[in-house]
Amino acid sequence: MTATLTTGTSAPEVAPLDAYSQVVVSVAEQLTPRVAAVHVSRRRRDGSVAAGAGSAVVFTNDGFLLTNAHVVGRAEAGQAAFADGTTVPFHVVGSDPLSDLAVVRADGSTPAPARLGEASQLRVGQLVVAVGNPLGLAGTITAGVVSALGRSLPTRAGDNVRIVDDVIQTDAALNPGNSGGALAVASGEVVGVNTAVAGVGVGLAIPINAVTRQIIATLMVEGRVRRAYLGIAGTPAPLPPSLSSRLDQKTGMRIEQVVAEAPAALAGLRPGDLLLSANQEPVTSAQTLQRHMLGDAIGQPLALTVFRSEALVDVIATPVELLADQ
């Protein structure tokens, strides 16, 4: 018997993707066209040129892109390159180093925007996909899980140091150039802006939530974020058991320092006070107090409750605007 081998022009069948791959491929197809590689440069006073690069996500129909403040630095303009090979110049609309967020606007057409999601709905172990341009490699996709939620990331602007709270930790591989790129869930919604590599297998992303949405909106309109200032520093501290049971609150913020002549000092706060609430909302750390310190709090009375000498003490402080040297 003679065996006959026949050949044809039909392509071999492609094996169906497993569920995990289907999700990653779907997110990649949605977001890769919408995440740009950005390049910025500016001339220093000594004549040298400072250059930077990263990623940015188109998030409006009229050409606004979201990225990290540390990506744009002090640059005023740059170039965005998309996965289809098109490039477009952009100008920096606003930057906020204390949240590590920046908004730029393309001076030309951009792809349709990505959809912004809500990071507060994330769960540890949930699949996430990072889209960016690490090491200059455009359109790179990595996948992993939400490793932890509620992480804190110190940021600095001049002498001011702020803690960005509710930061997302992921094991999706991030490398230099990923900063400003998208961290997305299975639906393709962007729930974070990749910002830092904290170690092998540890990436961090600024969450998209109510606070950052307010910051982004303010940057789009005003170009900067005004912040309120009380003039206190503190650390989390447990409440006495009887008080904890009474208030149904486990921790407060122990005030360690009160700046002389600052609003907190003028209101009568003292080192050693245990700050319990601001405008009747529990304060459990410096981070929770910071949520009250955006621009709309400037000049507005802020009701504070502290525990002092075995008694609850109510005071009213009026925050002032945070200046560069405070």
Task: Tell me the per-residue pLDDT of 272-320, one tens digit each, with 9 for 90 and over.
Answer: 999 999 999 999 877 788 888 888 899 999 999 999 999 999 999 999 9
Which of 39, 55, 70, 166 is the catalytic position?
Answer: 70
Distance CA 233, CA 240 (A): 21
- Type and span of the H or E element at 121: none
What letters, b where the CB count within 10 A reaches 16 and e where it falls short, cover 115-138? ebbebeebeeeebbbbbbbbeeeb
The chain-wide mean pLDDT, for the chain, equals 88
Q: What tens digit of pLDDT does each residue of 169-187 get?
A: 999 988 878 899 999 999 9
Distance CA 79, CA 36 (A): 9
CA angle 119, 76, 173 (to 5 degrees): 40
For 18-225, the fitting CATH number among 1.10.3470.10, 2.40.10.120, 3.30.450.40, 3.90.1150.10 is: 2.40.10.120
Q: Is 158 within 8 Å of 324 (Cβ atoms)?
A: yes
Per-residue pLDDT at 91 exceeds 50: yes
In the annotation, is 179 catalytic?
A: yes
Residues of the chain with CATH 2.40.10.120: 18-225
For 228-321, the fitting CATH number among 2.30.42.10, 3.40.50.300, 3.40.50.150, 3.30.1020.10 is: 2.30.42.10
Per-residue pLDDT at 134 exceeds 80: no
In the annotation, is 39 catalytic?
A: no
- Between these two residues, 225 and 154, which has the higher pLDDT value? 225
Q: What tens digit of pLDDT does each residue of 196-212 get?
A: 766 666 889 999 998 89
pLDDT of residue 2: 44
In the annotation, is 70 catalytic?
A: yes
Which of 95, 99, 179, 277 is the catalytic position?
Answer: 179
Which of 55, 95, 96, 100 is the catalytic position?
Answer: 100
Q: What tens digit of pLDDT does each residue of 240-259 get?
A: 999 999 999 999 999 988 98
Residues of the chain with CATH 2.30.42.10: 228-321
Q: Which two three-digit tokens encode residue 117?
A: 């999601």
